[in-house]
Structure 1
Amino acid sequence: MDSGAIRRRLALGAAVLAASGALALTATGTAQAATGGCAGREVRTLPFKTGITHVYKRDGYVCAVTVPRTPGSARVMSVSVQARGNRPVVDAGRYTRLAGPVTVHAGHRCVWIKGAVGRSSVSSGWILC
């Protein structure tokens, strides 16, 4: 094999490696965006009139995000997670895409999730006991 063929094969290998790395980064970013930054598996979806609160669980940690049904201009949104016996952890403010993520260590304790977009809200009661 001459040196030109070796260079072409090395260039092809480098291009394939770069493309696969870019694909991996894109796929990871898409998964991250879909979960809103929460790790673990989705265990509950709490829909309400103006949004949805997604609840995830992993290794004793519970995470939640609230997303509006129609993204757009900034509006008041909030999400909170409270493990039984502790104070709630809250993320509230004016957001365009989502409120949260909010993560707490719950262990095997029940949690109470709340989410709101505008004047509409949801409250789970004690769940995941």
Structure 2
Amino acid sequence: MFGGVSGKGRTGPVLAVLAAAGGLVVFGPAGGSADAAAPCAGRPVKAVGFGAGELRLYKGNGYACAVTAAKNPGTRRRMSVTIQARGSAPAGDSGAYTQLAGPVTVHAGSRCVRATGAIAGGGSAQTGWVC
């Protein structure tokens, strides 16, 4: 049963809820927008593709953020991403993921940053220092 509503003569509220929910889907934000799907704040500054994925680096408001994204999401596999502001220790994320490792954010100020990303059995990438 839907929401605990059952019996004859009670379909009105159920249909109203379903219609309202359907309206959200039909009239909601447009799907496929790159801005809506961005995992990090800031603007994209570098993307490096490799065999099974892409390493993406974003910067804005004194922060830098990185993610490793799988080209074919869905299969759980070992993924990692690290990011480092010049003069600071690197920060990272790794695990068995289906789509993204990260996002990992560091305070960069006006310093250069670098990132690395990898997907098991699918290669790796590095951005080099980005200023």
- For structure 2, list consecutive stretches of 5 or more residues without a partner in the other structure: 1-19
Indicate which of 85, 109, 112 corresponds to 2:111.
109
Q: In structure 2, what is the equivalent of residue 62 of structure 1? A: 64
- Percentage of identical aligned residues: 51
Residue 34 of structure 1 pairs with residue 76 of structure 2: no
Tell me the alpha carbon deviations over residues 38-67 of structure 1, each in whole angstroms, 9 at most, x when there is no partner: 111111111111100111111110011111
For 1:96, the equivalent position in structure 2 comes to 98
Pairing partner for 1:49 from 45, 48, 51: 51
The alignment's TM-score, normalised by the length of structure 1, stands at 0.73
**1:125 to partner: Cα distance:** 1.7
Offset at 1:103? 0.4
Q: 1:117 to 1:33 in 2, by over 3 A?
A: farther
Q: Distance in 1 between matches of 2:55 and 2:36?
A: 14
Q: 1:84 aligns with which of 63, 83, 86?
A: 86
Which is richer in helix? 1
**Structure 1 gaps, min length 5:** 1-14
Residue 3 of structure 2 corresponds to: none
Match for 1:58: what amino acid?
G
CA RMSD of aligned residues (A): 2.3
CA distance in 2, matches of 1:126, 1:31: 25
Decide whether the 8 Å contact of 2:55 with 2:126 is kept in 1. Answer: no
1:74 CA drift (Å) = 0.6
- The alignment covers a number of residue pairs equal to 107
TM-score, with length taken from structure 2: 0.72
Distance in 2 between the 1:51 and 1:59 partners?
A: 27
In structure 2, C-alpha distance between the alignment counterparts of 1:33 and 1:68, rounded to whole Å: 18
Matched to 1:92, the amino acid is S
